[in-house]
Amino acid sequence: SQQGEEDPQALSIQEGENATMNCSYKTSINNLQWYRQNSGRGLVHLILIRSNEREKHSGRLRVTLDTSKKSSSLLITASRAADTASYFCATDPYNQGGKLIFGQGTELSVKP
Amino acid sequence: GAVVSQHPSRVICKSGTSVKIECRSLDFQATTMFWYRQFPKQSLMLMATSNEGSKATYEQGVEKDKFLINHASLTLSTLTVTSAHPEDSSFYICSARDWDEQFFGPGTRLTVL
């Protein structure tokens, strides 16, 4: 399969709690990106982390990257009901012409 | 950030007809664009890489004669689903690369009756 693995597949939390999603991939990468998708809508780019970076923050988002384990995590702190969406990681494999390979996604539900 | 548009946003067609979807980069030039397909409750699957001025590169299992891709200019790529069937009903999303970031179009929902 060209896809990476994400876990959990589904996550349900209460507003205010933190949400952590994990992503694993198979090949060497240039960078890894996280996207959000609301049901039936397009993708929203959240954050890009390069292969030489270990951690990156953007507002309530914190992304880590461990290239030795070929894994990444996305942490959303102080979640809100509006964070309810599907979250996908996507890798930019080294020497593959810039195409992105998407993980299977995590469906996050934040209950008010 | 850069903007990518898709047209149409939604199309319903009869089985056996062909449907053309356009993908445009509005404020930057893209020598490479990508086409993805997404079935309900699933992730995006890369279908092909569209290269300006040359043939598209298709992923394994994607029929190049069924999904025709043309990238005639630096801002426009088109995907034509030929002889569409109900199993081709899906959400088709294009993206264009600007430096190391990809920008995605809003998607086209195709329903084949």
pLDDT tens-digit readout, B26-61: 989 988 999 999 999 899 999 999 988 888 999 999
How many angstroms separate the CA of residue B39 from the nearest CA in chain A?
10
DSSP label at A103?
B
Band (pLDDT 50/70/90 cuts) for residue B19 is: very high
Residue A86's SS3 state is strand
- Residue A3: the pLDDT is 60
Q: For A60-103, write each residue's pLDDT tens digit.
A: 999 999 999 999 999 999 999 999 999 999 999 998 888 999 99
Chain A CB contacts of B34 under 8 Å are 98-100
Chain B neighbours among A 53-82 (CB < 8 Å)?
none
DSSP letters along chain B, please?
A: ---EEEE-SEEEE-TT--EEEEEEESSS--SEEEEEEE-TTS-EEEEEEEETTS--EEPTT--TTTEEEEEEETTEEEEEE-S--GGG-EEEEEEEEETTEEEE---EEEEE-
Whether pLDDT at A15 is above 60: yes
B87 has a chain A CB within 8 A of its CB: no
Chain B CB contacts of A92 under 8 Å are 100, 102
How many other C-beta atoms can be found within 10 angstroms of the C-beta atom of residue A10? 11
Q: For B62-101, write each residue's pLDDT tens digit.
A: 999 999 999 988 999 999 999 999 999 999 999 998 877 7
CB contact under 8 A, B45 and A43: no
Average pLDDT over residues A18-41: 94
CB contact under 8 A, B100 and A103: no
User: d(Cα A104, Cα A110) in Å, to the nearest integer?
Assistant: 19
| Interface A:B, Cβ pairs < 8 A | 61
